[in-house]
Amino acid sequence: MIKKENIPNMLCYLRIAAAPVVAALMCLAAFNEEVARIILIVFSGATFGLAMVTDALDGRYARKHGIVSDKGKILDPLADKALIFGTMLSFLFYEFVKGSLGFYMIIPLCIILAREITVSALRNYTAKKGAVIGASIWGKVKTCIQTAACSICFFCYLFDRNVVAFCFICLAAVVTLVSLFPYLKMYICKLRELAESEEG
């Protein structure tokens, strides 16, 4: 029997498991034409959408039952990153095969990846120091924009509007970069507090 305190983390694992499925379907779509391409993109987008629904469900369930954990604070944003960035990488692959914007798309994806690596490194470092910091409002806004951008991109690729999809990926990259600075301020303050407590 599944314990209720394990449900939020299980939903996070479900998002992580969905990431390669979404990417694989989108990559297969790049090698198919007409009906098969459309079907694969629809299934990829539907899988992405259903997986992202669990992002709202796990947090709401955890808060409702008072089972927010340090593991969940780390696992939740990690699951989001795996699903969203994996999806964006499949868009990059799709562009290289079907479109002409593959090389240009590398730039916004590198910006997104650099931001995620920076925040993840800081989060892991502070966690080792005994201070677990969950997602802030900026992180949630960033995730919402990235999710919306990916969702719109599925429709764009469905109707061969690759340039529009690229524009939304760039928008997500800008928001992602801007969201880094509040995080840096927050982590710097937390590291100072930890340093002061160690000195005390």
Average pLDDT for 181-191: 81
User: Tokens in use for 52?
Assistant: 């992202």
Average pLDDT for 6-20: 83
pLDDT in tens, 29-73: 999 988 999 999 999 999 999 998 887 776 666 666 666 666 666
Please tell me the predicted confidence (pLDDT) of residue 21. Answer: 96
User: Tokens in use for 110?
Assistant: 């590198």
Please state, in angstroms and rounded to a whole number, the distance separating the CA atoms of residues 176 and 20: 22
pLDDT in tens, 157-174: 999 999 999 999 999 999
CA nearest to 69, candidates 17, 13, 137, 9: 9
Q: What is the CATH T-level fold of the domain 4-199, as seen in this structure?
A: Four Helix Bundle (Hemerythrin (Met), subunit A) (1.20.120)
pLDDT, averaged across the chain: 85
Please state, in angstroms and rounded to a whole number, the distance separating the CA atoms of residues 162 and 20: 22
User: Tokens in use for 84?
Assistant: 């969203």
> Using N-to-C axis directions, what is the helix angle for 7-30 and 70-98, rounded to 10°?
10
Sorted by where each begins, the domain ranges of the chain are: 4-199
pTM score of the predicted model:
0.85
**How far is Cα of residue 9 from the mean position of the Cα atoms in its chain?**
16
Please tell me the predicted confidence (pLDDT) of residue 99. Answer: 84
Residue with tokens 């840096």, as numbered in its chain: 184
